[in-house]
Structure 1
Amino acid sequence: MVGTLVAVIPAAGQSATGKPVAGLVWAACPEDVVVPPTVQLPVQCAKVPVPLDYRDPDGTQIELMVSRIASTKPEKRRGVLMFNPGGPGGTGLDQPAFLVSKGLPTGVTDAYDLIGMDTRGVGHSAPVSCGFTADDGYWANIPPYASDDAAVTRQAEIARDVAERCAANDTDGRLRHLSTANMARDLDRIRAALGEEKASFYGASYGSALGAAYTSMFPDTTDRVVLDSIIGDTHLDRAGLRRFALGMEQTFPDFAKWAAARHESYGLGRTPQQVRRTYLTLAERLDRTPTPDGLTGALLRQITFGSLYNEIQYPNLARIWQTYLDPGEASRAKAATAPNPQDNALTVFLAVTCNDVEWPEDVDTYRRAVAQDRKRFPLFGAASANITPCAFWKHEPAEPPVAVNDKGRRNVLILQNRHDPVTPLAGGRLLREKFEERSRLVTVNESGHGVYVLGGNACALNLTTTYLVDGKMPAGDRTCQRG
C-alpha cells in the first residue's frame, strides 16, 4: 500500500473541530428522506459543516446533513439522542422516524430531540462513489464463499480491481478521510452545533463500533450510550468479519428448526439436521452448476445469511430454497449494466473498513484462513474469511484504531441477542470486557440482528427505555428470556 499519512490529530477528549458552528438552520428534509405516514411528529433537516481533514480544521469543509424530531415536552426534555443504524454506509436521516413508526416509546421522544444523520460520505453528506454497477456481482462487506483455493485467487483479482477502481474514482481525495475516528469527531461537532453540552447516542451493528469510539474519544461530552448488536470493538477488522461465520452457525439452527416444523409446506427436511443437509447439498450443487439465471452457491449462501437477520424473513428464504431445489422452476431477471443503487453504501463501507485498521496484503494469508474456517464453520466460514479490497487499498490508516476508553462513569449499555448471524454474542462479551465497569451487558435469548424496539423483547425494551429516560443502569449484567 502507498499514501501513508503522518500528522497530529486532535486527541481524545479535546475539541476536534476548531470553531464549531453555533446554531443550525432547520428546514424541510430532502424528498428521499422517508417518513412513514404513521409518524405524526414533524421531521426537519439541517447541514453541519465539518473539516474534511481534522488535522487541518480550518481547511476544506464538507457538510453533513442531520435530521431532527424535536421533543414537544420541554418540561421533560433532557437533551439530544443521536442515532446510527449501522453500515458503515447506511443512511440515518430517516432512522428517528423509522424507529418512531416501529414503536419507540413516548418516554424517549419526550426526553430527547431525536437526531438522525448521514455520516460523512453517505447520501446527503458529501457522498463518495467507487463507480459500482449493477452487474458487478461484488459484495463489499462479505466476499463470495470460496469453495477452494482457486476461488480465493479469483476473488483476489476482483478485490484488486475494486480497490483500484475506488482509487481512480476518488478524484476529490475524500476516501482517505472516511474513518470511524473522523465520524466520531463529526458526532462531537454535531453536538456542539446543536448547542448541547452533552449528547446521548444509540448505535446498532456498525453503529455500536462508532458509539464505542465516540464515547471513548469524548467521555466528558457523551451522556447515555446504548450499543446494540455488537461488532466487538471500535472498528471492524478481520477477526470481526470472521465472526460472521460463527454468528451464522449459531443462528442457522433457529431457521432449521422453523423449517423442519413446516416440512409439509416447504419440503426442506423433517428435522433440523435434514434442513442443514439440504442447505449444504443445494449450495454445493450450485457451486458446480450455477442456474441459467445466475444463482451460484456463493449467492445462495449470501441470501441465506442475510435472511437470518430477522425471523420475519424465514418464509421467503424457505420459498427461495424450495424454488431452487427444482432447477427447472428457477427464474430471475439478470441485472443490466447500470449504476448500482448500493454504490454509495458499498463505497463508504470499504473506505471506513479499510482506513480504520491494517489488513494483510498477502493472498496466502487469506487462503489459509478460508481453508481453516471452511472446516470450522461449514455454513459460511469460507465467505467471511475471504479476501477483500482492503488487502489492496491505496491508503494506509492515518492513525491507529480508537482504543476503548474504560475510564469514566458507567454510561454504556450493551444489548446483544444470543443468536445473531452478523454480530454474535462473542462480540458483545468482548466489548463488555473492554469497557469494564463503564458498561453493562444485556444478553437477550432471541434470534436475529437488532434488539431495541425492532427485536420485540419486552425485558430488553424496558431495561433500555428505563436507562434512556430515567438513567437507571442495571446493577449488573442481565439476561432477558424470550418474549
Structure 2
Amino acid sequence: MNETRSVGTAGRSRGRRFATALATAALAVTVATACSDAAHEEDRRAPADQAEAAAIEWGPCPAAAEGAPRDPGLTCATVEVPLNYDEPDGASIEVAVSRLAAADPAERHGVLLLNPGGPALSGLDMPGTMAPTLPQSVLDGYDLIGFDPRGVEHSTPQSCGLEVASVPGHFPYPAADGSIDANVELARTEAQKCAATENLRYFTTANTARDLDRVREALGEQKISYWGQSYGTYLGAVYSSLYPERTDRMILEGNIDPTQVWSGVLEGWGESMAERFPDAAAVAAAQNDTLGLGGTVDEVTRTYLALADRLDREPAPVPGTEQSMDGATLRIATYALLLDNENLPILAQVWKAAANLADGRLTAADGEVLAQVFAEAPPTPGVPTDNQATMFLALTCGDAEWSHDVADYAGRSAAHREAWPLTAGMPANIWPCAFWPAPIEKPVTVTDEGPGDILILQNRRDHATSWASGQGLRQVLGDRAAFVGVENGGHYVYDAGSACADRATVDFLSTGHLPEEDVFCTDVERN
C-alpha cells in the first residue's frame, strides 16, 4: 500500500521529502454498513439524479505541515457527514475537501477526485501535486478535488494516544531470534488503547466511500470521476460497488485485491519484495567499485541480508544522536525507497552508510545520508502526532476481521521468515488487529456489476501492491475494467517512465473510452 512518492524533487512531485517517504511508507493498502444487506441495496438503488445543488463554500485551506507543497490556486471547504450511516440524523463529523478548478470552464467535463492511498494519507494537497503531471486537456476538463478521508488530518482527526506514532513503527519485525513476544505485547496494548477511543469503530473504508457520495452531492454532481493510488484503489473499488451508477471515469493505480483485505495483502509483501529487490541490488552492483556491496545482484542481496541480521543482533548507535540503526530501520528504509525508481541510487547509499556505521567507520557523507533516514516529518498544525498511525490501524483492523490465534501468527511468521528472508517474517506476524473488536459490518463485496468505467494501472514489480494483487482486482471487476500492465518496478505507474501507460491514462480521462483489450507496456528499461 502506500506510500509517498520520492526523495527530494524527483519526477512528478507526487512524493515528499525523504523523511516523509519513510514516515508514511505503509501499505501501499469492503467494508461496511453495520446496516443490513437491504441497506446495501438501498445504497445501490439511490438514483443519480438526486444530486443536490452545490452547497460548498470554497475558501482558504487549513495550515499545512512546514515545507509541504500548496498550490496557490487551491481552495478548501468542509462537508458535514454522518458519523454512523446507520443513524444518518445522529452525530456528524467533517470531511475536508480541496479544489483546483478546471482551467477552461467551457471545456469542463466534471470533477476528478484524487486519493493518494496509505491507508490514512492526507489528500488535501493532491490536486496541486498532480496538476504538473497532467496535460492541459485534463486540466481544462476537470476540477481536481482532493480530500482528507474521515479521521485523517483535517477531517475530524482521530487519536488513540499511541506512543509509536508512525506507521512504519508498527511494522512487526520479529526479534533477532525470530521471537514475536514483544510484537504480541505491543499489539495487545495498542488494541486496548484504540478500543477505548470513542467512535473509532465508525472510521472504516465503507463509511469513507459513503462520505465521498456526500461530497459528490455537495459538489452538485450527478457523477464523479476518481483516481486512487494504492489503498485508494480499494476505496475506489468499494465506492464503485456501493454506487456503480454514480461513477464516471475511474483510474486505479497500484492495486489492492479486495478479496485479500487486509491480512492477505500484507502477507503478499514477502514474495513481492523478493521480486522488487533485485532492481535496487542491480543499481548497487553497478557501483561496486565505490560501494563495495557486491558485484552481482546475488552478492548484494547476501550483503544486505547479513547486514540486516547483524543490526538485528547489534544495533549500531548513530554518533551525535540518541538513535541507533537496527535491522528493522534498515528494512523500513528499504521498503520506502523502493516505492520509486528514482530513489534506487539513494537506497544504495543508505545500505553503504549503514554498513559503515556497523563497522565503526562512518564518514561525513554517510552521516548526511543517515540524518535523512532518521529525520522526522514535520507535524501538521492541530493534528495529533499519532493520527496517521491511529487511522492506519482503524482501517486495516476495522474493515475486516483478523485471526485471533496468537500461536498461529508465531508459526506463520517463522515460516515466512524462512521463505522470504528479505522481510524477516514481518508480513505474516501479529498486528493489533488480532486483538481488535469485531468490525461493525461485513466488508462490501466488490463485483463486476456496473458500467465499464474503470482503468487499472499496475507495475509488474510493485512490492507494496503486487502484480498478483492487481490481477486479483482485474478478475473481480471483470468487464467493468481494462488493465494496463507495465514492465516496470516501483509503486507508481503514471508519469513513471512509460509513455504507453501515460497515453492510455490520458486517453481514458479525455474520452471515457477504455482500451478494447488489456494492454501490456514494455517501453520502460529495467532499473
Asked whether the two chains share a fold, i.e. TM above 0.5, the reply is yes
Q: 1:117 to 1:253 in 2, by over 3 A?
A: same
What are the superposed Cα offsets for residues 291-312 of structure 1, whole Å, 9 maximum, x if unpaired? 1242211221121121111122
Partner of 2:158: 128
8 A contact 2:500–2:521 mirrored in 1: yes
1:296 to 313, 326, 340: 326
Equivalent pair of 2:280/2:347 in contact (CA under 8 Å) = no
Cross-structure match for 1:409 = 451
Which residue is equivalent to 2:462?
420
CA distance in 2, matches of 1:155, 1:194: 45
Structure 1 pair 235–224 and aligned structure 2 pair: CA distance change class (3 A):
farther
Q: Which moved more, 1:293-302 or 1:82-91?
A: 293-302
Distance 1:20 1:368, change over 3 A: farther
Is contact 2:400–2:443 with CA below 8 Å preserved after alignment?
yes
In the alignment, structure 1 residue 226 sits paired with structure 2 residue 251: yes
Bigger drift between 204-213 and 373-382 goes to 373-382
Q: Which amino acid aligns with 1:462?
A: R
- Tell me which amino acid in the other structure corresponds to 2:520: T
- Contact between 2:157 and 2:384, CA under 8 Å: does it hold in 1? no
C-alpha distance in structure 1 between counterparts of 2:170 and 2:163, whole Å: 16
* Number of the residue aligned with 2:11: none
| 1:164 correspondence with 2:192 | yes
Query: 5 Å matches for 1:52-451?
Result: 52-101=83-132, 103-133=133-163, 139=168, 142-150=171-179, 152-168=180-196, 170=197, 173-233=198-258, 236-292=261-317, 293-326=323-356, 327=358, 328-330=360-362, 343-380=386-423, 382-393=425-436, 395-451=437-493
In 2, Cα distance between equivalents of 1:277 and 1:110: 51
Aligned length: 469
Q: Distance in 2 between matches of 1:325 and 1:288?
A: 14
Question: How much has 1:458 moved relative to structure 2?
Answer: 1.0
One-letter identity of the residue aligned with 2:186 = I
Secondary structure of 1:28 counterpart? coil
Against the structure 1 CA distance between its residues 341 and 104, is the aligned structure 2 distance closer, same or farther, given a 3 Å change threshold? farther
State the distance in 2 between where 1:373 and 1:189 align: 42
Deviations 1:10-36, CA, capped at 9 Å, x for gaps: 314145999978511110111317884
Q: 1:464 aligns with which of 468, 484, 505?
A: 505
Amino acid corresponding to residue 241 of structure 1 in structure 2: L
Q: What pairs with 1:7-18 in structure 2 (closer than 5 Å)?
A: 7-8=35-36, 10-11=39-40, 12-15=43-46
What is the TM-score normalised by the length of structure 2? 0.84
The 1:97–1:234 alpha-carbon spacing in structure 2 relative to 1, beyond 3 Å, is farther
The alpha-carbon distance between structure 1 residues 52 and 5, as it changes in their structure 2 partners (threshold 3 A), is same
Deviations 1:118-145 (A, max 9, x none): 01001110000122346x7873663224
Question: Partner of 2:515 in structure 1?
Answer: 474
- Alpha-carbon shift at residue 375 of structure 1 (Å): 2.1
Partner Cα distance (2:78, 2:464) in 1:
32
Aligned partner of 1:25 among 49, 57, 62? 57
**Deviation readout 1:106-128 (Å, 9 max, x if unpaired):** 21111111100001001110000
Whether contact under 8 Å (2:174, 2:183) holds in the other structure is no
Could you list the per-position Cα deviations for residues 298-338 of structure 1 after superposition, in whole angstroms to 9, with x for gaps in the alignment? 221121121111122222222222122232145668899x9
1:51 aligns with 2:87: no
The TM-score, its normalising length taken from structure 1, stands at 0.91
C-alpha change, 1:21 and 1:148, in structure 2 (3 Å) is: farther
**CA shift for structure 1 position 75:** 2.2
2:149 partner letter: T
Distance, in Å, in 2 between the alignment partners of 1:317 and 1:130 is: 33
Q: Deviations over 1:21-60 (max 9, x none)?
A: 85111101113178847x56x1110110000000000111
Amino acid at match of 1:96: P
- Cα shift readout 1:129-168 (whole Å, capped 9, x = no counterpart): 122346x787366322454442x12211011111122233
What is the rounded CA distance, in whole Å, between the counterparts of 2:263 and 2:271 in structure 1?
Answer: 13
Q: Which residue of 1 aligns with 2:22?
A: none
> In structure 2, what is the Cα distance between the partners aligned to 1:5 and 1:47?
23
| 1:433 CA displacement | 0.4
Tell me the secondary structure at the aligned position of residue 464 of structure 1. helix
Contact 1:234 1:402 in 2 (8 A): no
- 2:187/2:430 contact within 8 Å kept: yes
- Distance in 2 between residues matched to 1:15 and 1:407, nearest whole Å: 16
Contact 1:257/1:271 (8 A) holds in 2: yes
Cα RMSD after superposing both structures: 2.6
Amino acid at match of 1:32: A
Residue deviations 1:432-482, cap 9 Å, x none? 0001111111111111111123x2321111100100111121111110113
State the shift of 1:377 in Å. Answer: 1.3
In 2, the alpha carbon distance for the partners of 1:439 and 1:430 equals 12
Q: Given that residues 52 and 220 in structure 2 are in contact (C-alpha distance below 8 angstroms), is that contact kept between their aligned partners in structure 1?
A: no
Distance 1:35 1:277, change over 3 A: closer
Letter in 2 for 1:471: G
CA distance, structure 2, for counterparts of residue 105 and residue 335 of structure 1: 35
